[in-house]
Amino acid sequence: MALPRFCSHCAAPLPHPPPVTCPGCDTSHWLDAKPCAGALVTCRGKVMLVRRAHEPWRGAWDVPGGFCGPREHPKDAAAREVREETGLAVEVGGILGMWIDTYAPEGPEADKVTLNIYFHATAESPANPWTDPNEVAEIGWFAPDDLPTEVAFPGHIPAVLRAWRESLEALPRTAATARHAEASHKAFA
Ligand SMILES: [Zn+2]
C-alpha cells in the first residue's frame, strides 16, 4: 500500500503522509492497521498449517487466515478463511492472542500494518475435501514438538505457534485428554 499523497475527497495534494488534514477541504486522513483473523485448527493434538501458494511468503507455512471484511467479526473471518483455503468447516473458539506485524517484507505493501487476531478452532476430522490452489499449495498437520521453522510472516507467526504450543501444555492432564492423546497417536501413526 503506497502512502496516500492526494486527498481522497477533493484530490488536493497532501503536505505530508498521514495522519494529516487536507489543507483544501479539512478531511482527516489516517493510517490504520488492517484487521486480520486466523485459526489454529487443532485436531487430535495437531495443528493445521497451509503452505502459501502466492506472495508474500510464497512456499512458507502459514496459519490459515486473512483480512476481515469491513463489517465481518474476526471470528467469522477466521472460519470463512479456513473454509475458503481448505474446505474444512471448523468450530471457532476463544482468542489465542493478537499480534501486530507488517504485511510484506518489501515492495509496495511493506507499509501495510496488520493487526492479526488468532482463535482456537477445532475440526471434527482432519480430512480435507479440497484446497484452493491459488491460495494454498499444501496442507499439513503438525504436532507441538514438530512445528515447521520456515514460516510466513516471521514477525509474528513463530510467536503464534509458540502460544499455541503453550496453550496445549496448559491443558489439565485429565483422563479424557490422556485418552484423546492416545487416540491421536494411533490416528497419525
Ligand atoms: Zn481534501
Distance CA 26, CA 4 (A): 15
Ligand 1 centre to CA of 31 (Å) is 16
Ligand 1: centre distance to CA 33 (Å): 22
CA of 21 to the centre of ligand 1 (A): 8
Q: Where are the beta strands (DSSP E) in the chain?
A: 20-21, 28-29, 34-43, 46-52, 61-62, 65-67, 91-102, 113-122, 136-142
Summarised one tens digit per residue, pLDDT across range 7-60 is 999 999 999 988 999 999 999 999 899 999 999 999 989 999 999 999 999 999
Among the ranges given (85-99, 101-115, 165-179), the one the predictor scored with the smallest mean pLDDT: 165-179
Residue 12 contacts residue 6 (beta carbons within 8 Å): yes
Instruction: Assign 139 a pLDDT band (cuts: 50, 70, 90).
Output: very high
Contact 30, 19 (CB under 8 A): yes
- Please report, as a single letter, which amino acid is at residue 86: T
Tell me which residue of 116, 130, 35 sits closest to 88, measured CA to CA.
130
Per the model's pLDDT, the better-predicted residue between 176 and 152 turns out to be 152
Expressed in angstroms and rounded, the spacing between residue 32 Cα and the centre of ligand 1 is 19
Give the other-Cβ count within 10 Å of 2's Cβ. 9
Q: What spacing in Å lies between the alpha carbon of 70 and ligand 1's midpoint? A: 23
pLDDT band of 174, cuts 50, 70, 90: low
- Ligand 1 centre distance from Cα of residue 25 (Å): 4
Report CA(36)–ligand 1 centroid distance (Å).
Answer: 29
| Burial bucket for residue 5 (CB in 10 Å: 0-12, 13-18, 19+) | exposed
Helices (H), the chain: 74-86, 157-169, 175-188
> What integer best gives the mean pLDDT of the chain?
88
Residue 175 reports pLDDT greater than 50: no
pLDDT interval class at 173 (50, 70, 90): low
pLDDT at 125: 74
pLDDT tens digits along 81-101: 999 999 999 999 999 999 999
Cα-to-centroid distance, 2 and ligand 1 (Å): 18
Secondary-structure class of domain 34-188 per CATH: alpha beta
Q: Domain limits of the chain?
A: 1-31, 34-188
